[in-house]
Structure formats: C-alpha cells, structure tokens
Amino acid sequence: MGYVRTPCVCQEFNVTDTPGNSTCINKIRLIPVELVDCAGLVPGAWEGRGLGNQFLDEIRQADALIHIVDAAGATDAEGKQCDPGTHDPTGDVRFLEHELDMWLLQIVKKEWPRAVRGVEGAKEDLVAILDEKLSGLGIRRGHILTAKAKTKLNFETPSKWSDEQLLSLVTELRKSSKPLLIAANKMDVSPAEKNIEKLRAMGYMVVPCCAEAELALRRASEKGMISYVPGDGNFKADKTRLTEQQSNALTNIKEKVLLPLGSTGVQDALNLAFFKLLQMISVFPVEDPEKLTDHKGRVLPDAYLVPYGTTAKEFAGVIHSDLAAGFLYATEIRSKMRVADDYVLKDKDVISIVSTKRHA
C-alpha cells in the first residue's frame, strides 16, 4: 500500500476530523492506494524469458505504470551497476515499450484470422471482439475506441492491415490503457540533469526523484528525529536527537535534493500517476450534512479516489452496492443543495447520500 496526498477539507470546514480509511497529518489527507512492485525485465520477457511471465501478469492488474529509471545512467540494461553517465536511460524506456507492445501483440494475434473472418464475413464488430479478448488485461471498450481513432484504421476490413498497422494499434492500446510516468531516480548524481531532458523529449511525464533521500527522511521521521510528511519540501529536525553525522546527512539531503527539486519526488510521482494520468479526484462522503459525521459520529472519516466524471449514484455504488440500489438523492455540502443521481462529482466534494437502503 502507498498513499496519495491531497489537502484535507477539514481546514476549510474548520473541524477536527477523525479519519477512518485514510490519514490526516497537518491538514493533509493521505489516501491509501494499491501498488504492485513488478519483477525486473530482461530482453525477451514477452517470450517468457527470466521473470517475464510474472512481470507481465502483474502488469495486467495495473491501471497506470510508474517506470523507475536510473536517470544518472549508473545502471546498465541488465540491471547491474556501472559508472554514472555510461548508460542511456532512454534505452530503458524504449525497451519497456517494446516488451509491452510485443506481449500485447501476441495476445491480439491469437486467433486473429478467425476474428478477421468474423468481421468481414459475418459482419461482427471488431471493437466488441477486442473488448472480449482484452478485458482480462484491464483494456476496456473506451481504450479500444481511442486507439481506433488515433490509428484511423478501418475496423471493417482488418484483412487489409499490414503488420506495422496492427502493431500501431497495439501501441495505442498500450498507451491508452496503461499510461506511463517516468520516475527519474538518482537526481542527486551529476549526469542525471542532462539525461532528464532526453527522457522528457520522449513525450512522457517525467518526475525528478531521489528515492534514497526519501527513505532516509522516512526512517528519521519514524525514529522521531524529524517531523516530515511524504511530499513535503522541507522537514523540521529535533537537534537534541541527532548525532553530528545524522545532522550533516540531513543537511546534505536538504541542500542537494529538497532545495533544487522541491521535494524528493517520490510522493509527486504517486500523486501525478493518480491525479494526472488516471484523472482521479478525491471525494469525502458523510452521513450527517450538518455535523459532517458518519453513523458512528466520526468527522469526515473517509476519503475516496474516483475517476473524474463519476456521478453521485456511481459513487454511492463505490461505497456500497445497497446505497446505489436505493439511491434517492445526495446533498452537496458546500452549497447545501440536493443533487440528483447524475450529478458529476468535483474534486474534494463533500457529499451526503440519502438512500432507502443503509449499509453497515
């Protein structure tokens, strides 16, 4: 489990919250998210080499990908350490693109002639065929329609597609269903600054990171040496609990990482993956619209991440299927207005849902 951070609405409503499914630290709400740490890839992973099958099976679960790249060029293609600047990190990104594309291509090509005959002979819908074939990979109808529009391929005559055109469709399917963000790690090592521009030129969102500094800050925070919330651009040290060596190490992190980058970048990568790549918003449900409490009396207990465009009734279903089944109306707390089932939620909305059915 990881966390995304967002300003908590407790400050706006001037209340002391009692979080349940999330955490609030210094008016910042940390909402849990599930992360999958994928096994490393070797060339030919799509053919089953190394841990390729395990990696690609884990990718199936992902809605977005954070590719951690050694921006200093101090790790070679096999994952071994090398002298900083001797490896081109853009090669790591191209390598991942190729492995994912070839993996998807093999799945699409399975029984492809049969699919082509169905489309051109029996007038079946190729979008529906692909939707059924790829549903287990987290690829949905909307992703297929996006790829179709971008490639401008004629879905009524797939027999006329070249191998290159089929691959272009697969590439667009991968881009739309598994959007990628690059976490450019080791930004405190000198060649990284030059390489990050090369990574950005590839068209991806790139987040400068220093994971080593983040780990050091979290460990110091756990031991009570500093006050630090993941994603902060600074920390407050308790000098009475620090040795001279520890104090110097923290000063080094501040000067070499926090001041030039604004933060360690680790939390930024998570936030951007959910709020930008996946276009999620945070929503705070309550039962009592006046006291902002749930049925246990907890103030602003929960925070949920849902896709932009989610309606009030859809959100009710996220909380519990019974709430959606008996949905009557919702109250948008800021305006105190009743809203219907098709009300589209906004980021940081505080919502009270009234239903004929209660959930435990």
Chain segment 334-347, per-residue pLDDT in tens: 999 999 999 999 99
pLDDT reading at 46 higher than 70: no
The whole-number pLDDT of residue 259 equals: 95
Looking at residue 178, its pLDDT comes to 94
Quote the tokens at residue 116: 């082509």
Q: Helix, strand or coil for residue 207?
A: strand
Confidence class for position 281, pLDDT limits 50, 70, 90: very high
Rounded Cα gap, residues 359 and 226, in angstroms: 41
Q: Quick one: average pLDDT of 324-334?
A: 96
pLDDT value at 158 more than 80: yes
* Mean pLDDT value of segment 44-53: 62
pLDDT tops 80 at residue 329? yes
Task: Out of 10-14, 133-137, 202-206, pick the least confident.
Answer: 133-137
pLDDT at 31 over 90: yes
- Going along the chain from its start, the domains and CATH numbers come out as 45-180 (1.10.8.470), 211-259 (no CATH), 280-355 (3.10.20.30)
Inter-residue contact 254 to 321 (CB < 8 Å)? no
Model confidence at 53: pLDDT above 80: no
Closest CA to 238 of 220, 258, 256, 260: 220
Residue at 197: amino acid letter:
E
If one compares 328 and 54, the residue with the highest pLDDT of the two is 328
pLDDT band per the 50, 70, 90 thresholds, residue 45: low
Q: Which tokens is 210 given?
A: 């220093």
156 CA to centre of own chain: 34
- At residue 292, the pLDDT reads 97
* Single-letter amino acid code for the residue at 188: D
Q: Is the predicted pLDDT of residue 51 greater than 60, yes or no?
A: no
For 321, phi then psi, to 5°, come to: -60, -30
* pLDDT reading at 171 higher than 80: yes
| Residues whose CB falls within 8 Å of the CB of residue 114, separated by 6 or more in sequence, listed in order | none
Q: Parallel, antiparallel, or unpaired for β 28-33 and 23-25? A: antiparallel
Asked if residue 50 has pLDDT above 60, the reply is no
Q: Average pLDDT in the 120-139 region?
A: 92
Q: Has residue 124 got a pLDDT over 60?
A: yes
State the chain's mean pLDDT as an integer: 92
Give the pLDDT band (50/70/90) at residue 302. Answer: very high
Mean pLDDT, residues 140-150: 96
| Rounded Cα gap, residues 5 and 270, in angstroms | 9
The pLDDT assigned to 128 comes to: 96
Q: pLDDT confidence of 37, banded at 50, 70, 90? A: confident
- Tokens 């009734």: give the residue: 313
Q: What is the pLDDT of residues 214-244, one digit of tens each?
A: 999 999 999 999 999 999 999 999 989 999 9
* Separation CA 198–CA 279 (nearest Å): 26
Whole-number Cα distances in Å, 10 to 16, 317, 330: 6, 24, 20
Query: Angle CA(155)–CA(181)–CA(194) in degrees, nearest 5?
Result: 125
SS3 category, 139: coil
Nearest-angstrom CA–CA distance, 252 and 247:
9
290 token code pair: 């006046």
Sequence-distant (≥ 6) Cβ neighbours of residue 318 within 8 angstroms:
304, 306, 310
- Helical spans, DSSP H, in 121-223: 126-134, 141-151, 163-177, 192-200, 211-222
CA terminus-to-terminus distance, the chain:
25
Cβ–Cβ < 8 Å for 9, 350: yes
CA distance 196 to 231: 20
SS3 call for 338 = strand
